[in-house]
Amino acid sequence: MSGFGQALGFGIVSAALIALSAVAMSMQFGVTKHANFAHGELLTISAFTMVLMQKVTQNLFLDAAVGICVSAALAWVINKTILQPFRRVVKRLIIMLIVTASVSQIVQSLLAVGFGTNYVVLSVPSETGRHIGPFVWTTIDVIIIVLAILVVALLHILLHYTSFGKAQRAVADDVDLARIVGINSGAVISRTWLLTGAVAGLAGSALAVTIGTFSNLLGFTFLLVTFAAVIVGGVGKMYGAVVGSLIVGIVTEVSGYYLSSGYKQVIALGVLIVVLLVRPNGFFATFVADTKA
């Protein structure tokens, strides 16, 4: 039983990590209407920035802050230099998937040129977990869970109570209509990417601190669970993404307790396929229409 409690505890931490990545992706997917296959690289770049920054300072918070800025900047630059020009010429949205897949390959390869394809190490003070209720968590775990909750709360406030949030939802609902009522959709999309990059960067730093050693494929591998969570939750719905992350995080960790941990990703795929078959638009799809009307 305590083993199960521990697995559940890991599941919650892993859900928090996924949630950070998934709320970012869900917001971007909802606004731009196409999946971003380079999402994982936003996480990777932040993690690698932390490794570099460790040569300057051992303060992990500072390292993470720089990582987040770099990731946000990368998201913004990718949108400005590649995605936006493509959006102007491309008729079929599906082409954007190929574009983002290429961007993903390019960033991955550039990182491999700079750092090699082997693992890099982020030194994190070692720490044994403490019992908190039925769970065993390290301080870092607790910080990540708290951060995830904070970020979701902040995003909620940002998206529901600020003019940026309203403009963003208008663009997500209907770009043309938003344009007619005078919203500068280009600027909204640009800022959405900046925000997506920042939150994904935070997810990347948190992931880096949790696992310590990783390669240039860190984010690409994490992309899968992120997709699973976002699709399970239904694209464009922040709370859907959170619930999706909880489902994916807990199911993979708890099943990892029973199966070999190597099959975690397979479980995530299983969850995704089942959801696609049962509810092609995610479990929370009906909620949109409700709030829209």
**CA–CA–CA angle 274, 280, 283 (5° rounding):** 80
Task: Give the single-character DSSP code of 261.
Answer: G
Residue 115 dihedral angles phi and psi, to the nearest 5°: -120, -5
Please give the span between the terminal C-alpha atoms of the chain, in angstroms, as a whole number.
46
Q: Which stretch binds another protein (CB under 8 A): 100-108, 154-162, 186-194, 240-248?
A: 100-108
Q: Which is nearer to another protein, 150 or 259 (CB)?
A: 259
CA gap 39, 217 in Å, rounded: 12
Q: Does 180 bind another protein (CB under 8 A)?
A: no
Residue given tokens 């699709």 in the structure block: 231
Q: Does 35 bind another protein (CB under 8 A)?
A: yes
Residue 25 tokens read as 């992706």
State the angle between helix axes of 185-211 and 2-32 in degrees (0 to 180), rounded to the nearest 10.
160
Q: Does 88 bind another protein (CB under 8 A)?
A: no
- State the Rg of the chain over Cα: 19
Among 13, 231, 247, 250, binds another protein (CB under 8 A): 231
Shortest separation between residue 133's beta carbon and another protein, angstroms: 33
Binding mask 106-145 for another protein (x = CB under 8 A): x-xxx-xx--xx----------------------------
Among 87, 199, 268, 284, binds another protein (CB under 8 A): 268
Which class for 165: exposed (0-12), middle (13-18), buried (19 or more C-beta within 10 A)? Answer: middle
Q: Does 176 bind another protein (CB under 8 A)?
A: no
Q: Which stretch binds another protein (CB under 8 A): 9-17, 123-131, 169-177, 273-281?
A: 273-281
Question: CB of 108 within 8 A of CB of 45?
Answer: no
Among 193, 227, 283, 284, binds another protein (CB under 8 A): 227
Question: CB of 125 within 8 A of CB of 63?
Answer: no
From the list 161, 155, 164, the residue with the least C-alpha distance to 184 is 164
Shortest separation between residue 226's beta carbon and another protein, angstroms: 10
CA gap 285, 217 in Å, rounded: 31
Among 17, 47, 195, 228, binds another protein (CB under 8 A): 228
3-class secondary structure, 120: strand
Q: Does 150 bind another protein (CB under 8 A)?
A: no
Q: Which stretch binds another protein (CB under 8 A): 30-38, 62-70, 129-137, 191-199?
A: 30-38
Q: Which is nearer to another protein, 1 or 89 (CB)?
A: 89
Q: Which residues pair with 178 in a beta bridge?
A: none
Q: Which is nearer to another protein, 18 or 66 (CB)?
A: 18
Q: Which is nearer to another protein, 181 or 293 (CB)?
A: 293
Q: How far is CA 206 from the centre of its chain?
A: 11
Q: Catalog residues that contact another protein under the rule CB under 8 A.
A: 33-35, 37, 82, 85-86, 89-90, 92-95, 97-99, 101-103, 105-106, 108-110, 112-113, 116-117, 220-221, 224, 227-228, 231, 260, 262-263, 265-266, 268-269, 272-273, 276-277, 280-281, 286-290, 292-293
